[in-house]
Chain A
Amino acid sequence: MSITKTKLVPIPSKNMIPERDVTKPPILECRSLGIDFGGLTAVNDFNLAIGRTEIAGLIGPNGAGKTTVFNLLTKVYQPTRGVILMDGLDTLDKTTVQLSKMGIARTFQNIRLFANLSVGDNVKIGLHNQMKYGTLSGILRLPAYWKQEKFARDRVRELLSIFDMQDLVDEQAGSLPYGAQRRLEIVRALATNPTLLLLDEPAAGMNPSETAELMENIVRIRDMFQIAVFLIEHDMKLVMGICEGICVVNFGCVIAKGTPDEIRNNPEVIKAYLGERKHA
C-alpha cells in the first residue's frame, strides 16, 4: 500500500484539500450545509472540500449525522440551508438521478443490492447510463442491442475482477456472503463511472483481514480510476490508515477537520468519543 503522508492546504473557501489536488477545483465542496427535520437540526454548518484524488473520511459517534450528510450529498434529502458544489456546479434543484450522472456514486450502510438478481445483472444495472440503446432496440434486438450488451458483459467482468469476483457473475446477489455483498455494492457504484465514490461503513461486519484487504482495495480503486473517495467508517484502523483528510462530526456539527495525526490529538475529538476527562 502506498500511503504517503499528505499535507492539507487551504483553498479560497478556507476548506482544506490535499496539496497535490490544489491545482484543480475540488470535486465536492459543501458550504454551510444544514438540514432540519421538523424542529430537529440533524446537520448544521457543515463545511468540507474534497480534492479530486483524495481519500477523505467522515467519522463521529453514533447518531452524529454522518449518513444524513451522505443523503444530503446524493439528494435523498434536500438541504434546508447551504450549498453543495459538485465539480464546481451548484446541485440545487438536482435530483438523485442527475447527481449520479454528474459523477456521485454511493454504497449503503445496510446493504442495498438487487438481491433477487444475479451479480452480473447488479453490475449491468450500474452500467445503465453508460449504455445507450433504447427500449425499442431492446425489444427488436437491433444491432445497437448486441453491441452494447457485449460492451456491458466485458465491462462487468473487468469491474468484478477488481475484487476477483468474476467467477461469481451468475450467482444470485442476495446469496453471496456478507463481505462479497459489500464488495459487489462497491463494484456496482464504480460501474456508474463516478468521479466521487461515497462509501457508507464499507468495513462494517468485516473481520480484520478482510478490512486490511478492503483498505488496499480502496487505495487501489482510487489510483486506478483517479477518483475521490469519501467514506464513513467506525474502524479507526481503516480511517487513520488510508484517509488523507478526516472530518469529525458530532450532533450534526463539524467539530474538527484535518489529517489523521491532527485528528488523533485533537482534544475536541477525544472528548466526543471518550467523554470529558476527569481531573483528579
Chain B
Amino acid sequence: MRHYIKRFSAATKTNVFTYLLVIVSFATAQILQGAGVMSSSLKGQLVPICAYIVMAVSLNLTVGILGELSLGHAGFMSVGAFAGVVAAVSLENIVVIPEVRLALAIIVGAVFAALAGILIGIPVLRLRGDYLAIVTLAFGEIISNIINCLYVGLDSRGLHISVLTSANALGLDPSGQVIINGPVGASGTDKISSFTAGFILILITLVIVQNLIRSRTGRAILAVRDNRISAESVGINITKYKMIAFVVSAALAGAAGVLFALNINTIVPTKFNFNMSILILVFVVLGGLGNIWGSIIAAAVLTVLPEALRGFNNYRMLVYAIVLILIMLLTNSNQIKSFLSRMQSQSPAKGAEKV
C-alpha cells in the first residue's frame, strides 16, 4: 500500500504545483496592479495571457497527451469567439449581471467549438499519420473565410443570419443591431472579460485537463499515444479516445476564444489565422510536450516578451526569434536537462511529461 501512497502523492505534487503556480501568479499580478507599479501595456495583456494559457494547455492535450499534431487550434478559438460574442450580445438585456453573461457566453462558445471539433474529428481521427495536421490546417483557414462572409444581426424578432451578402441583407428592424459584420468582424461589444474571469477559466481548464489525464479515459489516451497496437489489443477503442481528447481540447479553445473576444471592442476573423495557431503551438513545444505547467509559463512569458522588447523598435521580432532559439538551446542543454530530471525525481510524475 505504501507504494501507492507514494505514487499518488508524486502525481498530486505536479498537479498541486501547477495550481499553485497559477494562483501565486494571479495574486502577484493583483498586488502589482493594486500598488500601481504595473505598466498599462502589461495590464492590457493580462486577459490575453489568460486566454493564451488556456489555448496552450488545451492544445497540449491534443499534441502532447494524445500525440496528434493540430495546426488549426486558432480555428476553434475563432468559432468560440464569434459564437460567444453573439451569445453575449443576445443576452445583454436578458442577463443583466455581466459576470453571468460572460459565463454563459463562454459555455456557448465552448459548445460551438466542441461541435466543430466533432465535425472535424469524425472523418479524420479514424486515420493514422499526419492527416489531422493537414485537415486542421485547412480548417483554420476555412473558418476564418466563412466568418469573413458571415453576417449576424439581432432585432426585436430575434437573430438573423446571412451568408455571402452584406449587413443590409439581414433586413433588421430600425432598432436592430449588427453583431457580426463580415470582414469587419464584431465591433462595439461590451468588454465584459476580466482578469479574474480569466484566472477562473484557467483553473477550470486545469481541473478538466489534469483530472482527465489521471483517469481511466486519460490513461487510454496516453496508451493510444504510446502504442496504438497494444492499446487496441487490450480493448481500447482508439477512435473514441482520440475523439474525446480532441473535442475537449477544441471546447477549451472555444472558451478561451470567448474570453479573448469579450476583452476587446472589435474582433476581426483574420485575427485567428495560421500565425495564431503556430504561436500557440510554439508555446506548447517550448513548454514541453505533455508538460502542463511548462505550457502555462511559456504562454505567459512569450506573450509578454514582444511588449518587453519594445525598446528594440524595428528589431523587436528579430530579438524575439533569437530569444526563442536561446530558450530551445538552453532547455536542450545537458546541464539543464539533468537539473530538471533531478527536480522531476523529487516532484512531478514521470511519463506524461516525457515524449
Complex Cα–Cα for A135 and B350 (A):
22
Complex Cα–Cα for A188 and B227 (A):
13
Contacts of B216 in A (CB 8 A): 124, 128, 131, 133, 138, 148
Segment 219-249 of B: residues with Cβ below 8 Å from A = 219-220, 222-223, 226-227, 229-238, 244
Segment 166-223 of B: residues with Cβ below 8 Å from A = 207-208, 211-212, 215-220, 222-223
Does B271 touch A at the CB level, under 8 Å?
Answer: no
Contact mask for chain A residues 159-184; partner B; CB cutoff 8 A; 1 contact, 0 none: 00000001101101000000000000
Is A153's CB under 8 angstroms from B234's CB? no
Contacts of B34 in A (CB 8 A): none
Is B230's CB under 8 angstroms from A114's CB? yes
Closest chain-B Cβ to A233's Cβ sits at a distance in Å of 19
Which DSSP category, helix, strand, loop or mixed, fits chain A's interface?
helix
The one of B10, B211, B231, B352 that contacts A170, using a Cβ cutoff of 8 Å: B10
Is A169's CB under 8 angstroms from B4's CB? yes
Contacts of B233 in A (CB 8 A): 74, 96, 100, 105-106, 108, 112, 189
Contact mask for chain A residues 94-118; partner B; CB cutoff 8 A; 1 contact, 0 none: 0011001100011010001111111
Is A139's CB under 8 angstroms from B351's CB? no
Complex Cα–Cα for A148 and B332 (A):
40
Complex Cα–Cα for A138 and B223 (A):
17
Chain B minimum-CB-distance residue to A121: B219
Is B215's CB under 8 angstroms from A125's CB? no
Is B354's CB under 8 angstroms from A116's CB? yes
Is A97's CB under 8 angstroms from B237's CB? yes
Complex Cα–Cα for A170 and B9 (A):
12
Among the interface residues B212, B234, B238, B355, which one has the most CB atoms of the partner chain A within 10 A? Answer: B234
Does B3 touch A at the CB level, under 8 Å?
Answer: yes
Contacts of A114 in B (CB 8 A): 222-223, 226-227, 230-231
Tally of chain B residues near chain A (CB < 8 A): 36
Is A170's CB under 8 angstroms from B3's CB? yes
Is B223's CB under 8 angstroms from A116's CB? no
A97-B232, A97-B236, A169-B3 in contact; A125/B219 too (CB < 8 A)? Answer: yes
Is A117's CB under 8 angstroms from B226's CB? yes
Does B43 touch A at the CB level, under 8 Å?
Answer: no
The one of B10, B211, B220 that contacts A128, using a Cβ cutoff of 8 Å: B220
The one of A128, A166, A167 that contacts B236, using a Cβ cutoff of 8 Å: A128
Interface residue ranges, B against A (CB under 8 Å):
3-4, 6-7, 10, 207-208, 211-212, 215-220, 222-223, 226-227, 229-238, 244, 349-352, 354-355
A-B contact pairs, 30 of them (CB 8 A): A96-B232, A97-B232, A97-B238, A100-B233, A112-B229, A113-B227, A114-B223, A115-B226, A115-B227, A116-B226, A117-B222, A117-B226, A118-B349, A118-B350, A118-B351, A121-B219, A125-B220, A125-B223, A125-B236, A131-B216, A138-B212, A138-B217, A138-B218, A141-B211, A148-B216, A169-B7, A170-B10, A172-B351, A191-B234, A192-B235
